[in-house]
Structure 1
């Protein structure tokens, strides 16, 4: 059963201007100066680096899903009243592509001090931390461990998506284990499943999906204290106006308060488990 984490919105709501959420609805974008270039172009471009269940893509049809994809689609179609286009990218380029105007929003981006130097962020959509999935039958991983020091040892390999928030987190954390940087989420999972890697470092919600899909062999370590406790949001360009952010933040705030984000997370996880045959 997916456990959804909640966080206080009180401090975030202070920054939302009066009138943006007057009766539980999102302010119309045409009432502000926000997103005029997007409306003129008639399309909202959403930068998409794959990270199930945040952002997913059907390999057969190319169609995007995942709860951040659904939110980006709803923001474009229902708030800005434009078409939505998903632009393929990866975690190494998710910030640079936004800076160079290849898309208008970067989806499912961890709000980190390093990234805040280059881009700006919406208010949080969901919290995040790094966990470590592993095969329960792997003798290198002590049963019931909660300490990173228990597996940060020579001869232990940890798979991670190159350029992701979890890559940066474990690069600073692990001193002796070998870090296996791979281009996609699928590559990291295959490395773990094929036993080329001993552990998989990923977002807590993503590893929860893996362990629920494969309970016969997969387990996850939730380190205490938490690793890279952050929040996941939309990334926007550094020069984005305050009015632009208020429109986007009002939309996110309403989606969280209404329970729609929780519903989308559950739906995304169900979709992934169905695809995995579970």
Structure 2
């Protein structure tokens, strides 16, 4: 009788443990499937914000956030989820960790990389990051050239790039004939182009776009083909977010891209950043 009693207790304990595990699994799945619903119940969408123009900018006087990713986060919160938006101060070193520890719901303006994808999920890209060329339209050596990298890879063409950067690495892999002038910083690279000691400035497309907008009389931005170091710039999301919930954000972004709204926001943010400088 005693052995039967303990055997029955053991079976009951196993059933209880299994039930608890199944309940926890169901609860976790429900939470993952109701990501936006949980945010709507709280009434606020928290967006992790690490300043970098023109993606995310913060006014030092008012502490208000702007930039095209900030505007997208604000619009998505107010017009899709119908909740308030809260920008949470972050740094580029903490954006991923803060998302994992539930300090914010979305991380703004993260480049898609395989390493980050091991820890978090990504929305579809709001914009594409790539390296671009900036040239002086009045320079006869580059005036009228197309967008192919081979168009610029000539012995008489000099490229200015910040030494040791991703741009330097990408450029060095494709330029076979042209000269590469490696500079210690962005300012030196830009001055080399302005003084015509260099014919092409090589930098991130967003950075070059800002510089081109600030100097419309002579500066021209070229997106080389094939693309150099092209990556999607997206919202980071927790890995637990379901495909159905992720679709909500992806559809929103794809529609904004298709209508040209994101391009308008990029230009607006770029003009604002130049005005601030």
TM-score of the aligned structures, taking structure 1 as reference length: 0.63
Structure 1 distance, partners of 2:89, 2:163, is 22
Q: Cα gap change, 1:221/1:252 in structure 2, threshold over 3 Å: closer, same or farther?
A: closer
Q: Alpha-carbon deviations, 1:253-273, whole Å to 9, x = none?
A: 232233322222222223233
Secondary structure of the residue aligned to 2:52 is: coil
Structure 2, unmatched stretches of 5+, are: 1-32, 155-159, 174-179, 193-197
Counterpart in 2 of 1:38?
A: 39
**Taking CA–CA contacts closer than 8 Å with sequence separation of 6 or more, which of the two structures ends up with the larger relative contact order?**
1
Alignment of 1:210-249 (within 5 A): 210-214=211-215, 225-249=226-250
Structure 2 distance, partners of 1:105, 1:258, is 23
Secondary structure of the residue aligned to 1:87 is: strand
Q: Larger Cα Rg: Structure 1 or Structure 2?
A: 2
Paired residues, what number? 227
Alignment of 1:1-278 (within 5 A): 33-131=34-132, 158=162, 201-202=203-204, 204-214=205-215, 225-276=226-277
Structure 2 distance, partners of 1:86, 1:191, is 34
Retained in 2: the 8 A contact 1:46–1:72?
yes
Q: Cα gap change, 1:106/1:133 in structure 2, threshold over 3 Å: closer, same or farther?
A: farther
Structural RMSD (CA) = 4.0
Q: Cα gap change, 1:180/1:98 in structure 2, threshold over 3 Å: closer, same or farther?
A: farther
Q: Alpha-carbon deviations, 1:79-102, whole Å to 9, x = none?
A: 222221112223233222222222
Retained in 1: the 8 A contact 2:167–2:203?
no
Structure 2 distance, partners of 1:179, 1:39, is 49
TM-score of the aligned structures, taking structure 2 as reference length: 0.63
Retained in 1: the 8 A contact 2:49–2:90?
yes
Retained in 1: the 8 A contact 2:167–2:202?
no
Cα shift at 1:245: 0.4
Q: Cα gap change, 1:170/1:41 in structure 2, threshold over 3 Å: closer, same or farther?
A: farther
Retained in 2: the 8 A contact 1:34–1:247?
no
Q: Cα gap change, 1:143/1:107 in structure 2, threshold over 3 Å: closer, same or farther?
A: same
Counterpart in 2 of 1:20?
A: none
Q: Alpha-carbon deviations, 1:89-135, whole Å to 9, x = none?
A: 23233222222222111112222222222211112222220236699
Structure 2 distance, partners of 1:36, 1:132, is 44
Retained in 1: the 8 A contact 2:48–2:90?
yes
Cα shift at 1:227: 1.7
Q: Cα gap change, 1:179/1:100 in structure 2, threshold over 3 Å: closer, same or farther?
A: farther
Q: Cα gap change, 1:44/1:169 in structure 2, threshold over 3 Å: closer, same or farther?
A: farther
Retained in 2: the 8 A contact 1:110–1:232?
yes
